[in-house]
């Protein structure tokens, strides 16, 4: 009923015609969108027109949520789930009235529910959806952390009055007053988990402490904490990770397992003394992160076929290559979980052990106690393994044992720090692996990078520049351009205004066939080796890049940043 009301109202306001309304109502049956959204999405009206019409016709005030500061206390009146479900934001109170910003002020159910929850009379206001999204993420995103900070500040203030010169806030004791610092740290971790961060950085600056999170490979500023709370915050983290709280001048390492809202995460924490205090980095290893399939990682087409072929082998060595942060270990684990059956003995050598896989014998490398990759590998070989996974080949000794195991009937998986599939062959030569060993044992090389996916919430088509086309190896008059769905993300609260959300691999897969093996074994000149590689059907990574841009999954800009800008 309220849909017809909005439609009538817009016709009355002269914003849409009867026909346009009829069309939108017909579409709406298929798309199941709300009428307002339907009119916006089909481009019949702009959001501004919709808001203006509602303001005029209903006499409701418009509020620009991107410019107002909302008191965090408002979150007590309207819980986050309600705000998100109905796209509403509590703005302020006056007497027993609550001013509520709504994207659809005609939504009677929303008004009713908020009235019941807040026990206030609702004064609706109109806001743009983008403003609502922004305000919700601002207001509720760090709400818990902000409250804890306020309470800690109060305590520090009182403590300073009561016990001048005494260390305030005894963190980690059974003392009730330590609660806010614990809650602040919990909130920071929870925020990290919910925003899919891989690392949390707590960085003391001269006047404040900055909390940044690495999301999809890049750091984002999350919030700032008053300088006077730095000590309690740092101490809490150190207590949590069993570090020496009194030692502030040397770097420390620690570990903690945290459970936040039914999810368990493994934190690897390190401190580093800086001029403004100890910087803390928490690496989040999500224990419940599901292991992926190659398709979920982003393997497709010829690369997927080659991946499946290589994993299906029974012996030899497969190398995963790329710079740090290119997702090599995720791919390695995806392979291991596929190979993990009762009939085989899989042993992994890792530094550090990141995910636990049931049924796999995982060995932690520890240089200090002498468990180097090479030493660990020798021990493993005495344990009758079928499949051996080596975290990384860094030196000749490890490389030699790995290749020898591969030619003596074992299936070996490992990673190497090189830029692409071809340079892996050069790198093995540099390390000192004999050409005949490479040609006999090496079955394939998967070289990968991670590029960010365009955010699905704010994705829109766009026209690339000639320069961008050339970066992809395309000319402006290339007939294949008709197949391209060039897109980018406008930026929205869902993606922290970056335009990207999540990542996907870009890959090139080299399978060593007879021709390539012969070229390597005979030490053929470079051109001959490259010719053999080309004959093998090898597709360089740019092919995969073009495909991702063609399908509107990532942008040219992102490809340029990751593939052509050298290594991080
Ligand atoms: Zn977005």
Give residue 506 CA to ligand 1 midpoint distance, Å: 21
Q: Where are the beta strands (DSSP E) in 383-441?
A: 387-390, 411-416
Identify the H or E element spanning 568. Answer: none
Give residue 209 CA to ligand 1 midpoint distance, Å: 28
| 411-416: strand order across its sheet | 361-364, 346-350, 387-390, 411-416, 316-321, 442-454, 500-511
Give residue 32 CA to ligand 1 midpoint distance, Å: 22
Give residue 491 CA to ligand 1 midpoint distance, Å: 4
pLDDT at 427: 95
Give residue 402 CA to ligand 1 midpoint distance, Å: 44
pLDDT at 106: 80
Give residue 454 CA to ligand 1 midpoint distance, Å: 8
Calpha distance 486→488 (Å, rounded) = 7
pLDDT at 565: 67
Give residue 496 CA to ligand 1 midpoint distance, Å: 7
Give residue 453 CA to ligand 1 midpoint distance, Å: 10
Domains of the chain from N-terminus onward: 2-140 (3.30.300.160), 168-286 (3.30.450.90), 294-450+505-540 (3.40.50.300)
Give residue 30 CA to ligand 1 midpoint distance, Å: 25
In Å, how far are 255, 280, 537 from 240, measured between CA atoms?
A: 8, 13, 53
Give residue 264 CA to ligand 1 midpoint distance, Å: 27
Give residue 467 CA to ligand 1 midpoint distance, Å: 25
pTM of the model as a whole: 0.66
Give residue 473 CA to ligand 1 midpoint distance, Å: 28
* pLDDT per residue as tens, the chain (568 positions): 344 477 888 888 788 888 888 888 888 888 777 777 788 878 888 888 888 887 877 778 888 887 787 887 888 889 888 898 888 999 999 989 999 999 888 888 889 999 999 999 999 998 888 788 878 877 877 666 777 787 777 776 654 433 333 222 233 333 334 467 887 888 888 888 777 788 999 999 999 999 999 988 888 888 888 898 899 899 999 998 999 999 999 999 998 888 765 667 788 899 999 999 999 999 988 665 556 789 989 999 999 999 999 999 989 999 999 998 898 988 998 999 889 888 899 999 988 777 777 888 888 888 778 888 888 888 888 888 999 999 899 899 999 999 999 999 999 999 999 999 999 999 999 999 999 999 999 999 999 999 999 998 899 999 999 999 998 988 888 899 999 999 999 988 778 788 998 899 999 999 999 999 999 999 999 999 999 999 999 999 999 999 999 999 999 999 998 987 654 4
150, 226 Cβ separation under 8 angstroms:
no
Give residue 488 CA to ligand 1 midpoint distance, Å: 10
pLDDT at 388: 95
Give residue 539 CA to ligand 1 midpoint distance, Å: 32
Q: Where are the beta strands (DSSP E) in 147-192?
A: none
> Any long-range contacts for 41-49 (C-beta under 8 Å, 24+ apart)?
44/16, 44/20, 45/10, 45/15, 45/16, 47/128, 47/129, 47/130, 49/15
| 88-94: strand order across its sheet | 88-94, 97-102, 121-126
Give residue 48 CA to ligand 1 midpoint distance, Å: 20
Give residue 218 CA to ligand 1 midpoint distance, Å: 15
122, 111 Cβ separation under 8 angstroms:
yes
Give residue 23 CA to ligand 1 midpoint distance, Å: 29
DSSP lists the bridge partners of residue 58 as: none
Give residue 498 CA to ligand 1 midpoint distance, Å: 7
Within 458-537, residue ranges assigned H as helices are: 466-471, 514-521, 526-535
487, 454 Cβ separation under 8 angstroms:
yes
Give residue 450 CA to ligand 1 midpoint distance, Å: 18
508, 303 Cβ separation under 8 angstroms:
yes
Calpha distance 567→332 (Å, rounded) = 21
Q: Which residues of 465-504 are buried (b: 16+ CB within 10 A; e: fewer)?
A: eeebbebbebeeeeeeeeebebbbbebbbebbebbbbebb
């Amino acid at each position: 009923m309220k849909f017809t009301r909005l439609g009538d109202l817009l016709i009355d306001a002269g914003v849409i015609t009867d026909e346009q309304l009829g069309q939108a109502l017909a579409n709406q049956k298929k798309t199941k969108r709300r009428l307002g959204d339907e009119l916006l999405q089909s481009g019949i009206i702009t959001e501004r027109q919709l808001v203006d019409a509602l303001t005029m016709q209903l006499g409701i005030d418009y509020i620009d949520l991107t410019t107002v500061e909302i008191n965090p206390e408002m979150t007590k009146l309207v819980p986050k789930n309600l705000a998100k479900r109905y796209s509403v934001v509590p703005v302020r109170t006056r007497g027993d009235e609550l001013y509520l910003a709504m994207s659809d002020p005609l939504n009677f159910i929303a008004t009713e529910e908020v009235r019941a929850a807040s026990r206030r009379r609702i004064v609706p206001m109109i806001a743009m959806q983008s403003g609502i999204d922004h305000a919700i993420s601002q207001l509720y995103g760090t709400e818990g952390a902000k409250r804890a900070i306020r309470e800690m500040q109060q305590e520090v203030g009182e403590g300073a009055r009561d016990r001048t010169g005494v260390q305030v806030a005894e963190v980690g004791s059974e003392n009730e007053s330590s609660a806010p610092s614990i809650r602040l740290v919990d909130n920071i971790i929870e925020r990290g988990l919910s925003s899919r961060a891989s690392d949390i950085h707590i960085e003391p600056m001269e006047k404040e402490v900055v909390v940044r999170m690495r999301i999809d490979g890049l750091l984002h500023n999350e919030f700032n904490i008053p300088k006077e709370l730095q000590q309690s915050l740092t101490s809490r983290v150190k207590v949590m990770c069993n570090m020496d709280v009194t030692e502030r001048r040397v770097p420390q390492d620690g570990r903690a397992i945290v459970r936040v809202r039914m999810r368990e995460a493994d934190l690897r924490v390190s401190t580093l003394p800086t001029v403004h205090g100890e910087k803390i980095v928490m690496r989040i290893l999500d224990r419940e992160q599901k292991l992926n399939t190659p398709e979920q990682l982003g393997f497709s087409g010829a690369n997927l076929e080659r991946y499946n072929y290589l994993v299906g082998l029974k012996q030899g060595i497969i190398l995963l290559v790329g710079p740090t942060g290119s997702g090599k270990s995720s791919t390695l684990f995806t392979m291991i979980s596929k190979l993990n059956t009762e009939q085989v003995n899989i042993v992994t050598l890792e530094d550090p052990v990141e995910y636990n896989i049931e049924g796999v014998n995982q060995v932690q490398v520890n240089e200090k106690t002498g468990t180097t990759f090479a030493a660990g590998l020798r021990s493993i070989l005495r344990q009758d393994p079928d499949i051996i996974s080596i975290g990384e080949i860094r030196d000749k000794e490890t490389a030699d044992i790995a290749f020898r195991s591969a030619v003596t009937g074992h299936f070996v998986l490992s990673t190497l720090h090189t830029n692409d599939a071809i340079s892996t062959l050069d790198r093995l030569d540099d390390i000192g692996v004999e050409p005949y060993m490479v040609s006999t044992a090496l079955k394939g090389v998967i070289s990968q990078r991670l590029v960010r996916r365009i955010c699905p919430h704010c994705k829109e088509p766009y026209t690339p520049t000639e320069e961008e086309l050339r970066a992809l190896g395309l000319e402006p008059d290339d007939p294949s351009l008709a197949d391209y769905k060039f897109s980018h993300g406008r930026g929205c609260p869902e993606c922290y205004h970056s335009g990207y959300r999540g990542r996907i691999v870009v890959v090139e897969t080299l399978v060593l066939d007879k021709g390539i093996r012969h070229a390597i074994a005979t030490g053929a000149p470079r051109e001959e080796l490259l010719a053999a590689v080309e004959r093998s059907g090898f597709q360089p990574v740019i092919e995969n890049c073009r495909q991702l841009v063609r399908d509107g999954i990532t942008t040219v800009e992102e490809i340029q940043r990751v593939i052509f800008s050298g290594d991080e």
